[in-house]
Amino acid sequence: MVHAIRIHQNGGPEVMKWESVEVGEPGPGQVRLKQHAIGVNYIDTYHRSGLYKVALPAVIGSEGAGEVVAVGAGVADFKVGDRGAYAGAIGGYAEERLMPADRLVKLPANIDYKTAAAMMLQGMTVRYLLRQTYKVGPGTIMLLHAAAGGIGLIACQWARHLGATIIGTVSTEEKAKLAKEHGCTHVINYKTDDFVKGVKEITKGQGVDVVYDSIGKDTFPASLDCLKPFGLWVSFGNASGPVSAFDITILAGKGSLYATRPTLVTYTARREDLLANANELFDVVGKGIVKITVNHTYPLKDAVQAHRDLEGRKTTGSVVLLP
């Protein structure tokens, strides 16, 4: 038996319970991973609350790093003792777990477990957002909400490296400072200031090429008003709640806008895409272009507190649980 954080019903952080669970031996195509660090992501709160459905009871958590301790039949890529990391395979908040070997990525020697657990989900998301959903480059002007969050600090550094001008939004002055230190060109406090007005001033009325919106309800439809004609609205999260159904002609009225609602699942569905994404992330982190900021670690058994802090907007950068 090992310990895990499990939910038996959807609800607030208090539904997460520290329990003994049976892990078992890996089946065909699976490995058993002894986890050394586990990432906390906003999506974990959606799985817990029920915004995104999971079969109950469930061990939530979608990201971790550790060593392979057993290998199932037909697994050729991993052997006992290999170091691996993953994102997007639910069952993460556990000391040990089984997982499909084709979702695990070998960890380079220069990346430690804590860094890996902090960056796989957020870093691979930033990679597809900046390199695939919209090809950010010199000349790109982008709006990035929650610029001091986990996704935010990685995106600021990576987009700056690609040559973009980044307008970031944050809710406190402390977060504004942090975003700037990580490469954000302009920062707007969207709690105290009108961010549409701020974007218009900074861009001299032109608007931005792309908006990366992970806030959802509270920033809709204002995010659309920040775009140039033909600009792209990337709605990729719901930190304030989901965007309600809307009349699509709003995109015409605001300048023939494009809209997409992407997810890491699609962008890494094929193993070759997962590896290409992870390798590019390992490369930028290995070269020091992107530094992974872990400002908050908690013992795994204190996942309840980690969720309270994340949802209470108390965290910056990435959040990690240690088994």
Contact residues toward ligand NDP (CB under 6 A) are 41-43, 121-122, 125, 146, 148-152, 170-171, 175, 214-215, 218, 236-240, 262-264, 310-311, 313, 315
The least distance separating ligand NDP from the CB of residue 6, rounded to whole angstroms, comes to 21
CB of 123 to ligand NDP, least distance (A): 10
Contacts of 30 (CB under 8 A, 6+ apart): 72, 75, 98, 99, 100, 101
CB of 32 to ligand NDP, least distance (A): 26
| Cβ nearer to ligand NDP, comparing 146 with 285 | 146
Nearest to 127 by CA among 88, 158, 97: 158
- Least distance CB 228 / ligand NDP (angstroms): 23
Q: Which residue's CB is nearer to ligand NDP, number 218 or number 280?
A: 218
Is the distance from CB of 281 to CB of 127 less than 8 angstroms? Answer: yes
CB of 15 to ligand NDP, least distance (A): 18
Who contacts 282 (Cβ-Cβ below 8 Å, separation ≥6)?
108, 111
In this structure, are residues 145 and 169 in contact, taking their beta carbons and an 8 Å threshold? yes
Nearer to ligand NDP, 86 or 236 (CB): 236
Closer of 122 and 277 to ligand NDP (Cβ): 122
Angle between helices 113-128 and 150-162 (to 10 degrees): 60
Please, what is the minimum distance in Å from the beta carbon of residue 155 to ligand NDP?
9
Question: Distance (Å, rounded) from C-alpha 210 to C-alpha 217?
Answer: 18
Judged by beta carbon, residue 91 or residue 237, the one nearer ligand NDP is 237
Nearer to ligand NDP, 75 or 310 (CB): 310
